[in-house]
Structure 1
Amino acid sequence: MRHLYRCPLRWADMDAYGHVNNVVFLRYLEEARIDFLFRPDKDFQQGSVVARHEIDYKRQLVHRHTPVDIELWVTEIRAASFTLAYEVKDPDQVYVRASTVIVPFDFEAQRPRRITSEEREFLEEYRDDRSGSAADAAAEKHGDEAVAA
């Protein structure tokens, strides 16, 4: 299963060319991650920190007044970390593919901690080892290249 976040685009997100600035995409990923991890029914209340981000820009996103979709899913669960994958997209195209390694963290003890059984159970619901989507497959078939930063 994948989590869907409808991310609003803001006027301040765009660069001088009317495109969403590449740096802003990291904030979009953060918003999707918070929406996923900190919900009333499922919560990583003990805390977590980001250990690593990787982002591939596929095409420019032009500023508009409608939200962009961010799909988020879990690709790996280890004893003391997990990896989230993302696609920032519209139904017919992908703008960004990214991943984040997250480490559960005990802020009181100031050290990483292991994933609890409840957290693991929650993460397993969103585990999806498939990468990409039909839109990605079509884009790669046509030889689309990553957009230069």
Structure 2
Amino acid sequence: MARHIYSCPLRWSDMDAFGHVNNVVFLRYLEEARIDFMFRLAPGNGSPSFSGGSVVARHEIDYVRPLVHRHEPVTVESWVTKIGAASLTIAYEIKDPGQVYVRASTVVVPYDLAAGRPRRITAEEKSFLREYLDEGRGVKDALAA
């Protein structure tokens, strides 16, 4: 099982009055990693996979420790924990070597923008997602470790 690795820069404006990354900013980091995973790394040359749109149905996030501003980027690791007929779950860890700041998951629903409704995951998309599938290692499992 592969993990998608995204190097996420920290911005000065990400800090809150307490001097650490604001809790809502972590959702932006997850979004950046998810977009990089689903759209830039979509399978096939010129493939339309994942390009038709998607919506977030659910976020779950556990804040493990504060992250303070520095010039080095933070790593966001992403993997898939569930593939359904019309949704998938992506798990994440925002981390540095040896320490985790956030563990999270997102339920994503592919969406047909023209029709204005959710759509099923295609065979090509499922094939791509299976490369990152780890059903036994979701966010709750990682928290127990």
> What's the TM-score, normalizing by structure 1?
0.86
Q: Which whole-Å CA distance do the structure 1 matches of 2:3 and 2:41 have between them?
A: 18
Query: Which residue of 2 is the match for residue 144 of structure 1?
Result: none
User: Equivalences for 1:52-91 in 2 at 5 Å?
Assistant: 52-91=58-97
Gaps of 5+ in 2: 44-48
**Structure 1 residue matching 2:59: 3-state secondary structure:** strand
Query: Which residue of 2 is the match for residue 11 of structure 1?
Result: 12
Q: CA deviation at 1:45?
A: 1.2
Letter of the 1:53 partner, please give it: H
Mapped pair 1:119 → 2:120: no
8 A Cα contact 1:2 1:128, kept in partner = no
Q: CA deviation at 1:132?
A: 6.9
**Structure 1 residue matching 2:111: 3-state secondary structure:** strand
Q: Which whole-Å CA distance do the structure 1 matches of 2:8 and 2:138 have between them?
A: 19
How large is the Cα RMSD of the aligned pairs? Answer: 1.8
8 A Cα contact 2:50 2:125, kept in partner = yes
Query: Which residue of 1 is the match for residue 46 of structure 2?
Result: none
Mapped pair 1:96 → 2:95: no
**Structure 1 residue matching 2:78: 3-state secondary structure:** strand
Mapped pair 1:31 → 2:32: yes
Q: Which whole-Å CA distance do the structure 2 matches of 1:40 and 1:115 have between them?
A: 16
> Which string of whole-angstrom CA distances, capped at 9 and with x for unpartnered residues, describes residues 121-140 of structure 1?
0100110124379xx68xx6
Q: Which whole-Å CA distance do the structure 1 matches of 2:77 and 2:124 have between them?
A: 22
**Structure 2 residue matching 1:84: 3-state secondary structure:** strand
> Which string of whole-angstrom CA distances, capped at 9 and with x for unpartnered residues, describes residues 3-31 of structure 1?
00000000000112221111100000000
**Structure 2 residue matching 1:19: 3-state secondary structure:** coil
Gaps of 5+ in 1: 142-149
Give the % identical residues.
69
